[in-house]
Amino acid sequence: MGLIALALMLVSLLPLAACQRNAAREKNPLEAAPVDTARVHASDVPTWGYRREISADLDGDQKLERVVIASNVRIGPTGPIWEDGQLWAVYVEGAGGKRELLYGAFVPNGFAEAAVLAPDSDRRRKVLIQERTPQQMRAMEVTYNRGKVRLSSAAYYQLGEWLPGAAALR
């Protein structure tokens, strides 16, 4: 192979190398936290009417983070006034009050709930988020590790008809 042919081959590979380098730096969108950023913003969530929280060490650093689920429902004299749909968010407050959204969505005619899962071998705990509407159910596991949030697994189910369980009888 001549020197000129070798130089041309190397020059043609430069754009490919640059693309691979940029791709390595970009986040995989499939791993991004399930947050509808057009509707849910971390700065708005603390003002929402419905809020429940629990403390847990999510990242195994032996410091508690606060996991909060919130909805923008209006609170009336007798409790929440649920509409045909609400914004829901699950977020973590770490040291210094820094807020990281794990989940945020508009849920029509349904609700969201969250649970902190049992720790793994590294003492890290995932957050399970379930979103239910009459038409679908989504279950998502989200990891929080020192301020970084990532979707680790998700399942989506299209529903035909629910059979009420014993909880519906109460």
- pLDDT tens sequence for the chain (170 residues): 565 655 555 555 555 555 555 555 566 666 788 999 999 998 899 899 999 999 999 999 999 999 999 999 998 999 888 889 999 999 999 777 789 999 999 999 999 999 999 999 999 999 999 999 999 999 999 999 888 899 999 999 999 988 877 665 55
The total number of structural domains in the chain stands at 1
Contact 81, 74 (CB under 8 A): yes
Burial class (CB in 10 A: 0-12, 13-18, 19+), 36: middle
Type of residue numbered 101: L
What CA–CA distances, in Å, run from 78 to 30, 74, 75, 81, 137? 41, 11, 8, 9, 29
Residue 146, in any domain of the structure: yes
Residue 104, in any domain of the structure: yes
| Secondary structure (3-state) at 64 | coil
Q: What is the predicted pLDDT for the residue at 69?
A: 97
Type of residue numbered 165: G
- CATH number, position 50: 2.40.128
Task: Report which of 150, 145, 112 is spatially closest to residue 129, judged by C-alpha positions.
Answer: 112
Domain hosting 145: range is 29-161
Q: What is the predicted pLDDT for the residue at 13?
A: 56
pTM, entire model: 0.78
